[in-house]
Chains A and B, each alone.
Chain A
Amino acid sequence: EADIYQTPRYLVIGTGKKITLECSQTMGHDKMYWYQQDPGMELHLIHYSYGVNSTEKGDLSSESTVSRIRTEHFPLTLESARPSHTSQYLCASSEYYPLGDRNYEQYFGPGTRLTVT
């Protein structure tokens, strides 16, 4: 059972507001990820991190930003929310083996469903 948590689970907010979606994991995983998923659709990677002070952009362009100050914490921030940001945001984590000599699958949190009005 994966120990990865996201808060809030649901958020309805007005246009222009700044929001931070929280993600924490207690497994000591180095790698963490943020995905964006529209209802019933596939997942798109928007950010990932190899560890503390590491952040990378994913395959889908996003106006959100992330930070990684602690291993267990990977918050996502939207400076000015817009209706186009309405979506589900999923956080995931995995172990990291730079030599590629082991398999390391991603474990997902329950997601935050964001609605911007």
Chain B
Amino acid sequence: GQQLNQSPQSMFIQEGEDVSMNCTSSSIFNTWLWYKQDPGEGPVLLIALYKAGELTSNGRLTAQFGITRKDSFLNISASIPSDVGIYFCAGRRTNRDDKIIFGKGTRLHILP
């Protein structure tokens, strides 16, 4: 089946550092989504990308839809303690395909 390869699997950073994570697929996707999940909670949608090459920001978060439509990345600038959590990429192959596929997540840890 289709898979999304998300990396890195986990990150340990200092507060204030910038963070970068990415998601790749062997298949073309029409939509890329980035979610954040806090412990014991459901995922919360951070950014949605609908066009190849699209670059979208949400506060300190920036995500891009890769030109090849097979990848996406998420950057977090000047990390703060509340950024800790699991970041999931997700993709949808077509507009009519309302099912989405999730990556395995990137676990972000911030060192004191």
User: What is the interface of chain A, defined by CB distance below 8 A to chain B?
Assistant: 6, 9, 31, 40-45, 48, 58-59, 90-92, 94, 96, 100-101, 103-111, 113
Contact = CB atoms under 8 A, between A and B. Distances in A.
Contacts of A40: 86, 105, 107
B50 A103 contact: yes
Contacts, number: 55
B64 to A, nearest CB: 17
Contact of A101 (B35, B40, B95, B107): B95
A92 B33 CA distance: 15
Interface residues of B, number: 25
Interface of B: 1, 31, 33, 35, 40-45, 48, 50, 86, 88, 94-96, 98-100, 102-105, 107
A105 B107 CA distance: 23
